[in-house]
Structure 1
Amino acid sequence: MISWNCQGVGSPLTFHQLKEIARLHFPSLFFLSETKNRVSRLDAVKKSLNMDSVIRVDLVGTSGGLALFWKGTSSVSLKKMCSWFIDVEIFDISLNKSWRLVNVYFNPYDNVRRDQWEFFSQYKSCLGDDWVLWGDMNDITCAEEKNGGAARSAWSFRGFRNFIDNCGLVDLGFSGYPFTWRNNRSGVEYVQERLDRVLVSPSWHRLYSQASVTHIESVGSDHNAIWLNLQTTPAHSRVPFRFDAHWVDDDEAEQVIRQAWSTLVQGSRSYSVYRKIQACRLSLTNWKRRKRLNSGCVIEELKSKIVSLRNTNQGPPPGAVQELKWLLKHEWDKEKFF
Structure 2
Amino acid sequence: MIVYSWNCRGLGNPQTVQSFCRMVKDKRPSLVFLMKTKVTSKKVRCLPLKLRMENMFVVDCRGKSGGLILLWKSSALVEIQNFSCGHINAVVKEPNGGIAWKLSCFYGHPEVQMRPQSWSLLRHLATLTPKPWLCLGDFNEIVSSSEKSSHTVRPRGQMASFQKVLDDCCLLDLGFTGPKYTWCNGRLGNGITRERLDRAVANKEWSGSFDVVSVEVLPRTKSDHNPLLVFFSKNNEMSWRERRQFRYEASWEKHQEYSQLVKQVWRTRNNCELAWRKVQNNLEYCQRAFQKWVRKEGGKVEDQIVKKERELQLLQMQEDNFDIDKENQIKDELQNLLQQEDLKWRQRAKENWLQSSDKNTKYFHASASQKHRRNVV
TM beyond 0.5: yes
User: Of 118, 121, 124, which residue of structure 2 is paired with 1:122?
Assistant: 124
Q: Distance in 2 between matches of 1:61 and 1:194?
A: 27
Contact 1:135 1:197 in 2 (8 A): yes
Query: Are 1:210 and 2:242 matched, yes or no?
Result: no
Show the counterpart of 1:58.
Answer: 60
Q: Aligned-pair distance for 1:44?
A: 2.3
Contact 2:76 2:94 in 1 (8 A): no
Show the counterpart of 2:72.
Answer: 70
Q: Give the number of aligned pairs.
A: 236
Report which stretch shifted further, 111-120 or 76-85.
Answer: 111-120
Distance 1:186 1:150, change over 3 A: same
Q: Distance in 1 between matches of 2:76 and 2:169?
A: 29
Contact 1:181 1:193 in 2 (8 A): yes
CA deviation vs aligned residue, 1:111-167 (integer Å, no higher than 9, x gap)? 211122123213321133201111000000011111123022444310000010000
Distance 1:74 1:160, change over 3 A: closer
Show the counterpart of 2:186.
Answer: 184
Contact 2:38 2:67 in 1 (8 A): yes
The 5-angstrom pairing of residues 1-338 of structure 1 reads 1-72=3-74, 75-94=77-96, 96-231=98-233
SS class of match (1:19): helix
Matched AA of 1:226: L
Segments of structure 1 that go 5 or more residues without pairing to the other structure are 237-338
Q: Aligned-pair distance for 1:193?
A: 0.6
CA deviation vs aligned residue, 1:48-107 (integer Å, no higher than 9, x gap)? 111100000000111100000000077001100111100011010145211010001110
**Identical aligned residues as a percent:** 29
Matched AA of 1:63: S
CA deviation vs aligned residue, 1:19-60 (integer Å, no higher than 9, x gap)? 111121011110000010122332222211111000000001
Contact 1:9 1:41 in 2 (8 A): no
Report which stretch shifted further, 194-203 or 73-82.
Answer: 73-82
Contact 2:33 2:70 in 1 (8 A): yes
CA deviation vs aligned residue, 1:276-302 (integer Å, no higher than 9, x gap)? xxxxxxxxxxxxxxxxxxxxxxxxxxx
Of the two structures, which has the highest relative contact order with CA contacts closer than 8 Å and spacing of 6 or more? 1
Distance 1:36 1:94, change over 3 A: same
SS class of match (1:218): coil
Q: Distance in 1 between matches of 2:115 and 2:209?
A: 30
Q: Distance in 1 between matches of 2:125 and 2:94?
A: 23
Contact 1:170 1:201 in 2 (8 A): yes
SS class of match (2:102): strand
Q: Distance in 2 between matches of 1:69 and 1:114?
A: 28
Show the counterpart of 1:333.
Answer: none
Contact 1:18 1:49 in 2 (8 A): no
Contact 2:40 2:58 in 1 (8 A): no
| Structure of larger gyration radius | 2
Matched AA of 1:222: D
Q: Distance in 1 between matches of 2:75 and 2:196?
A: 33
Distance 1:209 1:142, change over 3 A: farther
Show the counterpart of 1:278.
Answer: none
Contact 2:30 2:75 in 1 (8 A): no
Matched AA of 1:177: P
Q: Distance in 2 between matches of 1:127 and 1:187?
A: 48
SS class of match (2:208): helix
Give the root-mean-square deviation of aligned CA atoms: 1.8
TM-score by length of 2: 0.60
